[in-house]
């Protein structure tokens, strides 16, 4: 499921992160990928060991924790601490698929079910830099306002277009969901959003209770912990 989640960060937090990132020390983005990824990747990232990465990542995680649409869409079990990247001067990342298993800081492992990109630069600040996600319905081009998030299956083939003007700043991270299967996550998401819509419209309480029971029983049957 490819989903645009607006307003994860407010303007104040976007400006706070951008100000810190403009003064940051950046490393070669190829340091965090294998040989196949390194052959098509040209960008810069905050080092995984950077205290700034942990500080800014905590701001992102705190914002996500308060965002109901994000939780409804991802049903997160584990999250890789957010990373931050910078594309400029021709920077790009060719077609690739994200790694299936990633190491968490506590030495546990995360299965990457969902890939997330949180845009920190406004679309008018740079040319190019679109995230291109390829799925069974074709190619989807994504370039969102600062503070907005795109989530999509980590199994998707995707790339970042060359940035020919300005700078594209973003945070990116991966989620292991309680629900491994993307189609089942979509069903639960659509059920959840329908329940919320019906609740706000004043629908019959008994019918809503029954529908909520269906949601939770499916979640109970499909969830992996």
> What pLDDT, in 10s, does the model give residues 57-90?
999 999 999 999 999 999 999 999 999 999 999 9
Q: What is the structure's pLDDT at 140? A: 96
Q: What is the structure's pLDDT at 136? A: 83
What does the alpha-carbon distance between residue 131 and residue 150 come to, in Å, rounded to a whole number? Answer: 9
The domain defined by 3-177 folds into Jelly Rolls (2.60.120)
Strand-pair partners of 173 = 116
Residue 7 — very low, low, confident or very high, per pLDDT cuts 50/70/90? very high
Q: What is the structure's pLDDT at 34? A: 77
Taking residues 186-208, what's their average pLDDT? 96
Q: What is the structure's pLDDT at 137? A: 83
- Indicate the pTM of the whole model: 0.95
The domain defined by 182-222 folds into DNA Excision Repair, Uvrb; Chain A (4.10.860)
**Residue 92 reports pLDDT greater than 90:** yes
The rounded mean pLDDT for the chain is 96
> What pLDDT, in 10s, does the model give residues 126-147?
999 999 999 888 899 999 999 9
CATH topology of 3-177 equal to that of 182-222? Answer: no
Q: Where are the domains of the chain?
A: 3-177, 182-222
Taking residues 217-225, what's their average pLDDT? 96
């Amino acid at each position: 499921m490819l989903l645009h989640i607006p307003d994860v960060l407010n303007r104040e937090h976007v400006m706070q992160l951008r100000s810190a990132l403009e003064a940051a020390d950046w490393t070669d983005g190829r340091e965090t990928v294998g040989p196949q990824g390194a052959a098509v990747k040209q960008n810069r990232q905050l080092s995984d060991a950077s205290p700034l990465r942990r500080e800014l990542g905590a701001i992102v995680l705190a914002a996500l924790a308060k965002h109901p649409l994000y939780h409804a869409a991802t049903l997160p079990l584990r999250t890789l601490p957010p990373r931050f990247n910078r594309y400029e001067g021709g920077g790009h990342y060719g077609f690739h698929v994200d790694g299936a298993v990633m190491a968490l800081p506590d030495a546990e492992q995360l299965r990457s079910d969902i890939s997330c990109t949180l845009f920190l630069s406004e679309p008018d600040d740079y040319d190019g830099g679109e995230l291109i996600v390829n799925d069974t319905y074709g190619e989807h081009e994504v370039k969102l306002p600062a503070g907005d998030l795109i989530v999509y299956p980590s199994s998707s083939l995707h790339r970042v277009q060359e940035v020919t003007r300005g700078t594209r700043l973003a945070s990116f991270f991966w989620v292991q969901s309680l629900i491994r299967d993307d189609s089942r996550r979509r069903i639960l998401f659509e059920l959840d959003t329908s329940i919320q819509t019906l609740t706000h419209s004043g629908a019959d309480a008994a019918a809503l209770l029954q529908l909520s029971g269906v949601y939770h029983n499916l979640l109970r049957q499909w969830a992996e912990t």
